[in-house]
Amino acid sequence: MAGSSHGHTPAAWTGVIIAFIGFCVAGAFTVMAQPVGFWVGMAIVLLGGVVGAIMRGMGLGQPKDTHPVHLAGDKKQADKRQPASVEG
């Protein structure tokens, strides 16, 4: 999606960074064979999603009405194409 700003918001960046840290924690504890640490890392990953959703709710995410999919509206119906038939 060239030219779109999908995901380039403080909410998206914060959620992804927190989730990335959680994956790193979980991976490190997996290598150390510590199941409790692994699950703590997975909880951090989920926390990233929750923080991102809260920030989006606070207005720090991309508004739904500015996304190209929502701007297309009824145009999506007109863009449906029939598959080309293969003649042998």
Is residue 64 in some structural domain?
Answer: no
Give the residues of the chain that fall short of pLDDT 70. Answer: 1-7, 66-88
Is residue 33 in some structural domain?
Answer: yes
Is residue 25 in some structural domain?
Answer: yes
Share of residues in the chain with pLDDT > 90 (%): 49
pLDDT of the residue at 81: 53
Residue-number span of the structural domain to which 47 is assigned: 19-57
Is residue 36 in some structural domain?
Answer: yes
Is residue 31 in some structural domain?
Answer: yes
Q: Tokens in use for 49?
A: 């999603």
Domain tally for the chain? 1
Q: Tokens in use for 61?
A: 């995410």
